[in-house]
Amino acid sequence: SRTPVTITITGAGGQIGYALLFRIASGAMLGPETSVRLNLLEIPQGVRAAEGAALELQDSAFPLLSHVDVYDDAARAFSGANLGLLVGARPRTAGVERGDLLAANGGIFGPQGEAINAGAADDIRVVVVGNPANTNALIAAAHAPDVPAERFTALTRLDHNRALGQLAEALEIPVGELRQVTIWGNHSATQFPDVAHGTAAGDPVPALLAARFGGPDAAQEWLVDEFIPRVAKRGAEIIEVRGSSSVASAAAATIDHVRDWVAGTPDGWTSAAVVSDGSYGVPEGLVSSFPVESVDGAWRIVQGLDVDDFARQRIAASVAELEDEREAVRGLGLI
Ligand code: NAI
């Protein structure tokens, strides 16, 4: 369309920002018909890096890119925003206690929620990438009472894509054949990657895994001992192998999340952390990953799935961690 979509990217001078900006400007996120205006938000130490990225965006001559502006002030950066990609966060560094980390992030995501509440466009949609992503989204949403809570989400699409990648490799099938895989819970090591409802070119994944590993018990053993921990700890594996954290894959997952949210999920469900309505026993208000479909520009939690005892326990463990985080930020007065 002629009116550009305004996208505010926080932490735009960081690594994921650098991988994200050029794909957004190329049209990979909102399609080849939609022009974009990019508001890059950084803290003062990050402003030069964001300005450098802005120069390179100019040098890329993307026809869909209408404006790039760099800010160190959240109110200005979110003014008129249709999309907020909240990437910048206080990193977990050695020796930092969880309470201190949550407090530091509360100091970021609270004011950003307020800025969104005060000045974003009526159709604002937010995805939080910066960790701890689910609880940072909870904090931002709590500071934006005039924005419908369902517009605040956190990224678990990277975990979802990692699960697809591992299944495709194990089953020796193209990744594009896989459907109905789910990440439940927190974007953390407690997450539950669930293949019970998965299909590959229409065949049930559990049966394919049983055939591949020599029976249902062997398949379950592979899921518990290999697949689930590998997906949940893939971030650490990337750091070990690459010598640096997941960046391009995180940016790709962010693109996927927003694209599907805006354009819909005609091929069935994906995973996203959304505000719970109590579905599947996840306490209302927690930002938890679910199987979701996007219909008319809104995420809907897929209803009515069978959840067996194994899955129920795994989901409960991750949800308990989310409840702990919510209690901690309540205790700190952050929500
Ligand atoms: P980075 O350290 O390269 O970049 C972060 C940027 O955020 C820095 O430029 C910093 O100056 C900026 N920043 C910090 N506080 C800010 C604030 N209040 N406002 C605006 N900008 C601010 O880190 P990287 O690699 O880009 O990762 C960013 C975040 O994404 C981290 O929290 C990381 O843990 C998280 N992450 C989440 C994933 C997910 O699947 N949800 C996957 C990978 C990373």
pLDDT in tens, 228-251: 999 999 999 999 999 999 999 999
46 lines ligand 1 (CB under 6 A): yes
Closest atom of ligand 1 relative to the 159 alpha carbon: 40
279 within ligand 1 shell (Cβ under 6 A): no
Q: What is the percentage of the chain residues whose pLDDT exceeds 90?
A: 96
Centroid of chain to Cα 65: 24
16 is in an annotated binding site: yes
Average of per-residue pLDDT values in the chain: 97
**According to the annotation, is 15 in a ligand binding site?**
yes
Whole-number pLDDT of residue 1:
54
Contact yes or no for 129/249 (Cβ under 8 A): no
Q: What is the pLDDT of residues 164-193, one digit of tens each?
A: 999 999 999 999 999 999 999 999 999 999
Q: What's the CA-to-centroid distance between 177 and ligand 1, angstroms?
A: 32
Q: For ligand 1, say whether the CB of 11 is within 6 Å of any of its atoms.
A: yes
Upper half-sphere CA count for residue 34 (Cβ side, 13 Å): 17
97: pLDDT confidence band, cut at 50, 70 and 90?
confident
Question: Is pLDDT at 208 greater than 80 in this prediction?
Answer: yes
Closest ligand 1 atom to the C-alpha of 133?
41
- For the chain, where do the domains classified as CATH 3.90.110.10 start and end? 157-326
Q: Is the CB of 247 under 6 A from ligand 1?
A: yes
Q: What share of the chain has pLDDT > 70, as a percent? A: 99
Q: Is 88 annotated as a binding residue?
A: no
Which residue lies with its CA nearest to atom 4 of ligand 1?
14
Asked if ipTM goes beyond 0.90, one says yes
Class of domain 157-326: alpha beta
Q: Which runs of consecutive H residues, i.e. helices, occur in the chain?
A: 15-26, 47-59, 74-78, 98-119, 133-142, 157-171, 205-213, 216-222, 228-232, 234-242, 248-263, 309-331
Distances (CA, A) of 267 to 94, 199, 260, 287: 42, 12, 10, 24
To test the pocket of ligand 1, the residue of 9, 90, 116, 129 to mutate (highest count of ligand atoms within 8 Å of its CB) is 129
Phi, psi of 293 (to 5 degrees): -115, 150
Q: Considering only CA atoms, which residue is closest to atom 42 of ligand 1? A: 250
Residues taking part in catalysis: 187
Residue bearing tokens 């900006």 = 21
Q: What is the CATH number of domain 5-154?
A: 3.40.50.720
Domain with CATH 3.40.50.720 in the chain: 5-154
Distance CA 255, CA 6 (A): 15
Q: Averaged over 260-284, what is the pLDDT?
A: 97
Minimum CA distance residue for ligand 1 atom 18 = 108
Instruction: Say whether pLDDT at 2 is over 80.
Output: no
Picking from 305, 261, 257, the residue whose alpha carbon sits closest to that of residue 282 is 305
Q: Is 265 in the pocket of ligand 1 (CB under 6 A)?
A: no
